[in-house]
Amino acid sequence: MAPKPVRAAGGGASPPPPCLACGLTDGSVPLPGGAVLRTAHWAVEHCVGPLGVGTFVVKPLRHVTGLHELSAEEAAGLGPLLVRVADAVRVVVGDCEQVYVCLWSHAGRVPGHIHFVVQPARTGDLDRHAAHGPALQVAMFAEGAGPDADAVDEVCGRMRRELGGG
């Protein structure tokens, strides 16, 4: 999905940033729920798109298109952060059978800013779509229903508290 134009200070539309993930992090694209956590090298934000309330993205602060591009410092922080975020999703969401963690890195079949999707696999979603794993994500994208903005704000606040981010 291509980023939408951003309203410039003068009221006109400026072109979208070349990278949606970078735009969400730097504030040039509105981020529902705001930043949840920042470390020296990583950002945790609520996922934009149809994967449901309580789905978060863990991504490097700098533009990286493959794991092979991570610095030693970025790589060292990744595993512990993914475990921490997955555990927090389980606590905050509370009604999931599993927490999926998967790497995504394409935008229009071009390698894009890598991001790990940390998604609660809720019984209701599994049952409603009669799918699990990647098939659940495909079904949720096909359905196209984005999460309610107030629910995203609320779950982001709970995640900040759970992660010690405020």
State mean pLDDT over 93-102: 93
Chain segment 27-43, per-residue pLDDT in tens? 999 999 999 999 999 99
Helix or strand run (H / E) with residue 14: strand 13-14
Alpha carbon of residue 149 to chain centroid: 14
Query: Bigger pLDDT: 113 or 4?
Result: 113
Residue 11 has pLDDT above 70, yes or no: no
Amino acid letter, 39: T
Helices (H), 50-144: 72-93, 123-129, 134-143
